[in-house]
């Protein structure tokens, strides 16, 4: 099939959907790959590296969309890209249709096949295309904390590493999922005092198996949270907060319990979610102070680690793209129930219940639109 990889246009987005190695895999299977001029530069990959692996560089995004049967991307589509879409085209990217209403309109009007990374599942009912970015967000969130607590950056002047004769810094990680494990692994490996909290005891047991000795594991309840935030120098929120919840785990009032000028890194970045005082920030202006506590709430942490993130994302998404390109999209969707879970829209019909309910739109199941009985 013909696959087009556009340059990402979101502010501060340096990732790209494919590595040069990925191009080689696609071309070896008889596919044609177009890469937009300099699409990989932000991740350290030049046009020449893609060309060496068999890709052709195109200089206009319009031409790339026109010539491609599959658009392989990282982020959602932006209004300037909507006009380029054509009927039957396959859009394979993080779509987040429930968050971007205008994009959902465009995908339905243009009758494209939208397959969203974030909704594809695996045999454990987990989300294999969210996992790699969560791990990087958790690890990256800790690395950002290393900078934010430095005096020269407005912090309390701590080094988040073991120094002989000095009390260890206290890092509290809430949520023992993909991002929480990433943050805790790095924090513990540098010799900090790390506490990991979760409400799921199976997750805590799994975390205990993989994290270094010395990490403390605590059930996440109100009392334990209060005790932990009193002692923490850095609190890293890695919870997947349910969209319907309107309460908070850490309220504005609870910030008074924390050490003055200590740090919250909100990897989850749900505005008004688990952390009441969280509002999304960008890499240009990543922190703000509220209630005497520094907040770091960047919602695309992986972009700061673009080469690593691009490679990890491509490793995870490419097998699905190869399946789509080899079988054709309909056959791939019919035969692979996990890929089918990612189907957002097909031939002008919304197929994601969550978006249908949130945006009050009609929707059908993927099985209905594909006539799978």
Ligand X SMILES: NC(=O)c1ccc[n+]([C@@H]2O[C@H](COP(=O)([O-])OP(=O)(O)OC[C@H]3O[C@@H](n4cnc5c(N)ncnc54)[C@H](O)[C@@H]3O)[C@@H](O)[C@H]2O)c1
Do the Cβ atoms of 75 and 94 come closer than 8 Å? yes
Tokens 């799921």 belong to residue: 200
Whole-angstrom distance, CA of residue 77 vs CA of residue 100: 9
| Among 93, 97, 103, 268, interactor with ligand X by CB under 6 A | 268
Convert 279-345 into a string of H (helix), E (strand) and C (coil). CCEECCECEEEECCEEEECECCHHHHHHHHHHHHHHHHHHHHHHHHHHHCHHHHHHHCHHHHCCEEE
Q: Which of 21, 96, 105, 227 is catalytic?
A: 96
**Nearest residue (CB) to ligand X, 186 versus 329:** 186
Name the minimum Å distance from CB 101 to ligand X: 19
| Among 26, 70, 269, 352, interactor with ligand X by CB under 6 A | 269
Whole-angstrom distance, CA of residue 5 vs CA of residue 50: 11
Torsion of CA 305, 34, 114, 110, to 10 degrees: 130
Whole-angstrom distance, CA of residue 289 vs CA of residue 293: 5
Would you say the C-alpha torsion 18, 182, 159, 249 has a positive or negative sign? positive
Q: Binding to ligand X (CB under 6 A): which residues in 213-242?
A: 220, 238-240
Query: How many residues bind ligand X, per CB under 6 A?
Result: 28
**Nearest residue (CB) to ligand X, 68 versus 303:** 303
Name the minimum Å distance from CB 130 to ligand X: 5
| Among 160, 174, 236, 343, interactor with ligand X by CB under 6 A | 174
Q: Which of 119, 198, 270, 295 is catalytic?
A: 270
Residue nearest to ligand X (CB): 177
DSSP 259: P
132 lies in the binding site for ligand X (CB under 6 A)? no
20 lies in the binding site for ligand X (CB under 6 A)? no
Is residue 266 annotated as part of the catalytic site, yes or no?
no
Name the minimum Å distance from CB 111 to ligand X: 29
317 lies in the binding site for ligand X (CB under 6 A)? no
Is residue 233 annotated as part of the catalytic site, yes or no?
no
Give the distance from CA 186 to its chain's centroid: 19
Q: Which residues are catalytic?
A: 96, 270
Q: Which residues bind ligand X (CB under 6 A)?
A: 130, 133-134, 137, 174-180, 197-200, 203, 220, 238-240, 249, 267-269, 299-302
């Amino acid at each position: 099939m013909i696959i087009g990889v556009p340059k990402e246009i979101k502010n501060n987005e340096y990732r790209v959907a494919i590595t040069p190695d990925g191009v080689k895999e696609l071309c070896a299977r008889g596919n044609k790959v177009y890469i937009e001029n300099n699409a990989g530069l932000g991740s350290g990959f030049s046009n020449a590296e893609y060309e060496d692996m068999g890709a052709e560089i195109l200089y206009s995004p319009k031409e790339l969309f026109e010539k491609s049967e599959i658009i392989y991307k990282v982020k959602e589509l932006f209004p300037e890209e909507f006009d380029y879409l054509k009927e039957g085209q396959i859009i394979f990217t993080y779509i987040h249709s429930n968050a971007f209403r205008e994009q959902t309109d465009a995908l339905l009007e243009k009758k494209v096949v939208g397959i969203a990374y974030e909704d594809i599942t695996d045999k454990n009912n987990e989300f294999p295309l969210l996992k790699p970015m969560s791990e990087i967000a958790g690890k990256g969130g800790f690395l950002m904390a290393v900078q934010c607590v430095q005096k020269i950056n407005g912090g309390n002047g701590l080094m988040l590493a073991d120094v002989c004769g000095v009390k260890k810094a206290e890092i509290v990680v809430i949520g023992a999922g993909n991002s929480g494990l990433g943050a805790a692994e790095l924090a513990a490996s540098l010799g900090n005092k790390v506490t990991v909290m979760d409400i799921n005891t199976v997750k805590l047991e799994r975390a205990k198996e993989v994290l270094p000795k010395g990490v403390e594991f605590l059930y996440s309840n109100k009392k334990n949270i209060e005790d932990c935030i009193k002692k923490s120098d850095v609190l890293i929120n890695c919870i997947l907060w349910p969209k319907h919840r309107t309460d908070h785990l850490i309220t504005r009032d609870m910030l008074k319990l924390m050490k003055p000028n200590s740090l919250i890194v909100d990897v989850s970045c749900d505005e008004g979610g688990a952390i009441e005082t969280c509002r999304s920030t960008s890499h240009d202006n990543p922190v703000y102070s509220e209630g005497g506590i520094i907040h770091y709430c960047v919602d695309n942490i992986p972009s700061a680690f673009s080469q690593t993130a691009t490679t990890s994302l491509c490793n995870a998404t490419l097998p699905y793209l190869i399946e789509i390109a080899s079988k054709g999209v309909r056959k791939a969707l019919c035969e692979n129930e996990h890929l089918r879970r990612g189907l957002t829209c097909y031939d002008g019909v919304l197929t994601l219940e969550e978006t249908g309910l949130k945006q009050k739109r009609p929707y059908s199941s993927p099985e209905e639109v594909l006539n799978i009985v």
